Amino acid sequence: MTCAGMATTAAAQGTKTIRGADYTPTIWVDPDGCQHWVMDDGSEGYMTPNVNRHGIPVCDRSKLCGMVNSDQFFTSGSYRISNQGRARLAQFFQSNGADAFIVIGHTDSRGSDESNMKLSFNRAAAVANVGASAGANIVDVRGYGERMPRTTNKTSAGRAENRRVEIMCLN
């Protein structure tokens, strides 16, 4: 039976067809370097021919190639980059040689989850904007707030290390 036939049968039996949310076909790159896709029916997959012996995609084409200590580039609670910081970032993106970049923002645990998520994304977006202005291919921008700390948030040194923007290079 075709899909149209099923809809007709369902209508004839007095049942309702509920239309779900519309999906937009999308491609994105995760920090592991895997390109993922999602189709309009919600099915998802990987765009890589590389798999391990169990059929699981192996994509590790990315590496952490830069890290921005937030305290050096942003004032507390801000996502504005100084002119000197913009110049340093532009030089990094222009001299790196990667095919593409993923920019990921992080915060320490101070502040609400909502404000930390917003701040981390805005800082990552600010760095990504500098990269794009310098001609870099920015394929993804993310903010994880305080959810992926590098170290403890119980000390000021730990919190400072957790306030960062990571730049992943894809080759």
DSSP 107-139: --S-S-HHHHHHHHHHHHHHHHHHHHHTT--EE
* 147 & 75 share domain: yes
**Chosen domain end from 29, 60, 91:** 60
So what's the pLDDT on residue 24?
56
Judged by DSSP in three states, 13 sits in coil
**32 pLDDT tier (thresholds 50, 70, 90):** low
Residue range 18-23: mean pLDDT, rounded: 53
Classify residue 130: in a domain, yes or no. yes
Least confident of 2-16, 27-41, 96-110, 116-130: 2-16
* 140 & 92 share domain: yes
Classify residue 2: in a domain, yes or no. no
Residue range 136-144: mean pLDDT, rounded: 92
Instruction: Tally the domains of the chain.
Output: 2
What DSSP character marks residue 40?
Answer: T
Question: How are the residues of the chain apportioned to helix, strand and coil, as percentages rounded to the nearest 5?
Answer: 35, 25, 45
* 89 & 30 share domain: no
So what's the pLDDT on residue 11?
44
* 100 & 140 share domain: yes
Classify residue 162: in a domain, yes or no. yes
Phi, psi of 12 (to 5 degrees): -65, -30
Classify residue 112: in a domain, yes or no. yes
* 49 & 132 share domain: no
Least confident of 63-72, 85-94, 124-133, 156-165: 63-72
Range of the domain at 48: 19-60
* 94 & 166 share domain: yes
Burial class (CB in 10 A: 0-12, 13-18, 19+), 144: middle
Between CA 100 and CA 50 the distance in angstroms is 19
* 32 & 103 share domain: no
Classify residue 4: in a domain, yes or no. no
Classify residue 154: in a domain, yes or no. yes
So what's the pLDDT on residue 116?
96
* 71 & 146 share domain: yes
CATH code of residue 110:
3.30.1330.60
Residue 24 corresponds to which tokens in the numbers above? 């937009």
* 85 & 132 share domain: yes
* 130 & 74 share domain: yes
Q: What is the pLDDT of residues 85-124, one digit of tens each?
A: 999 999 999 999 888 899 999 999 999 999 999 999 999 9
* Mean of pLDDT over the chain: 79
